[in-house]
Amino acid sequence: MCEANAYLIENNEPVLIMESVDTVKPEDDGINIVNIFGEQKFIKAQIDSLSLVDHKIFLKKMSS
């Protein structure tokens, strides 16, 4: 399985917000993430970067 962990960067520090993320879908006002267990979160954030070999998704607060 190649899911990743999602981190929200706050004050330059990554904070784990969801493990085993499967799908990620940016929306106009945030981002939807769903893990392999079907749990879903909507976060007012956008993708900062991905590092898939490290299984990491970095999100950042939306620039408003």
Q: How far apart are CA 28 and CA 14, in angstroms?
A: 23
In the chain, what is the greatest distance between 2 CA atoms, to the nearest angstrom? 35
Given 23, 29, 37, 44, the residue binding a copy of itself (CB under 8 A): 23
Provide, rounded to whole angstroms, the least separation between the CB of residue 51 and a copy of itself: 5
Q: What angle do CA 51, 31, 19 make, to 5 degrees?
A: 50
- Does residue number 36 form part of the binding site for a copy of itself (CB under 8 A)? yes
- Does residue number 51 form part of the binding site for a copy of itself (CB under 8 A)? yes
Q: Which residues bind a copy of itself (CB under 8 A)?
A: 1-4, 21-26, 36, 46-53, 55, 57
